[in-house]
């Protein structure tokens, strides 16, 4: 009798386990492939957005320099006027809206008289007593007050108001600094901000479409004797300090904004200087 044993196949449950293992491996591979594909799509979208924003950013910068060039044009009939009108340019795939205003139509708190500042505050709805106090506070802060108080007096005033600092009696470096003036509120600052500049003359231009500034000038005229006449600007001016606001709408719904203040000369050299470049 033969003692050799016949071959026996693997148990049935071993085959089922192998199939299950293969299925799990396939699921894992599918998950990895899906994850890689999703990551690739996300990275592609990010890179597309970066490219679109870069294109819009370059376009808006080009539009700003285009405005500076046209504001310095020697020929009066070709020169742009900083009158607040909106112009539209197309650069590449971007459409840019440009608004150019003369900074001289705004009030410079570093140079303005207390009566002009008081008129501005009244024009935006500030109460009379508060407006007079804030106007005095601003001139004391920037060092332009007609009757400046001593450092000790100002320090005592600010300490009485719960503040641990005193006015520097130096020009503002930013409009935001006004929030530190004793009695100034965020609401009042936001109301007067659109009518302020750090790059304008002592007296705002007599040619202005800003009704708030016009009201402030009228108040200053009534309340105090003027030592100088408002600046006259407009067609024929050889130099202008312009606020250029440019908004570019580029590919992929990209949007980029620039607010630039530039001093521009229309002389033979067509010189300009950038005073502020805001992104």
Task: Output the domain CATH number for residue 177.
Answer: 1.10.40.60
| Final residue before a domain boundary, out of 146, 180, 196 | 196
- Range of 140's domain? 109-196
Together in a domain, 181 and 118: yes
278 phi/psi in degrees, rounded to 5: -105, 135
CA end-to-end span of the chain: 99
In this prediction, residue 151 carries a pLDDT of: 92
CA–CA distance, 134 with 117 (Å, rounded to integer) = 8
Together in a domain, 248 and 191: no
In-domain check, residue 209: no
Together in a domain, 113 and 174: yes
CA–CA distance, 120 with 216 (Å, rounded to integer) = 5
CA–CA distance, 90 with 79 (Å, rounded to integer) = 19
Q: Could you count the other beta carbons within 10 Å of the beta carbon of residue 110?
A: 21
Contact 130, 121 (CB under 8 A): yes
| Final residue before a domain boundary, out of 173, 196, 219 | 196
Together in a domain, 274 and 240: yes
Task: Compute CA 242 distance to the chain's CA centroid, rounded to the nearest angstrom.
Answer: 15
Helix, strand, coil fractions of the chain, as percent rounded to 5: 45, 20, 35
In this prediction, residue 269 carries a pLDDT of: 75
In-domain check, residue 214: no
Together in a domain, 113 and 192: yes
Statement: the pTM of the whole predicted model exceeds 0.85: no
Which helix or strand (DSSP H or E) is residue 41 part of? helix 12-71
Question: Max CA-CA distance within the chain?
Answer: 137
Residues 208-219: pLDDT tens digits? 668 999 999 999
Together in a domain, 95 and 133: no
In-domain check, residue 175: yes
Handedness of CA 163, 170, 264, 205 (dihedral sign): positive
Together in a domain, 158 and 141: yes
| Final residue before a domain boundary, out of 165, 196, 227 | 196
* Domains held by the chain: number: 2
pLDDT under 50: residue ranges of the chain: 1-7, 234-236
Give bridge partners of residue 264 from the DSSP assignment: 240, 272
CATH number of the domain residue 68 falls in: 3.30.1300
In this prediction, residue 210 carries a pLDDT of: 85
In this prediction, residue 230 carries a pLDDT of: 56
């Amino acid at each position: 009798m033969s003692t050799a044993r016949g071959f026996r196949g693997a148990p049935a449950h071993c085959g089922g386990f192998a199939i299950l293992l293969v299925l799990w491996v396939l699921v894992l591979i599918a998950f990895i492939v899906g994850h890689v594909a999703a990551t690739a799509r996300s990275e592609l979208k990010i890179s597309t957005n970066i490219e679109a924003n870069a294109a819009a950013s370059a376009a808006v910068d080009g539009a700003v320099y285009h405005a500076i060039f046209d504001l310095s044009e020697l020929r009066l009939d070709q020169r742009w006027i900083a009158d607040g009108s909106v112009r539209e340019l197309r650069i590449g795939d971007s459409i840019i809206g440009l608004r150019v205003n003369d900074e001289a139509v705004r009030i410079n708190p570093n140079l303005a008289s207390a009566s002009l500042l008081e008129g501005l505050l009244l024009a935006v709805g500030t109460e009379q007593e508060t407006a007079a106090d804030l106007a005095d506070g601003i001139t004391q802060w920037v060092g332009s007050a007609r009757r400046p108080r001593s450092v000790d007096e100002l320090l005592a005033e600010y300490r009485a108001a719960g503040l641990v600092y005193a006015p520097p009696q130096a020009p503002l470096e930013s409009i935001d600094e006004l929030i530190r003036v004793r009695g100034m509120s965020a609401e009042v600052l936001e109301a007067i901000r659109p009518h302020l500049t750090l790059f304008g003359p002592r007296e705002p231009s007599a040619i202005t479409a800003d009704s708030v500034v016009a009201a402030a000038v009228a108040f200053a005229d009534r309340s105090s004797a003027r030592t100088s006449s408002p600046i006259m600007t407009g067609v024929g001016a050889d130099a202008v300090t312009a606020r250029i606001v440019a908004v570019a709408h580029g590919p992929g719904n990209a949007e980029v904004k620039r607010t630039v203040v530039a001093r521009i000369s229309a002389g033979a050299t067509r010189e300009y200087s950038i005073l502020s470049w805001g992104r």
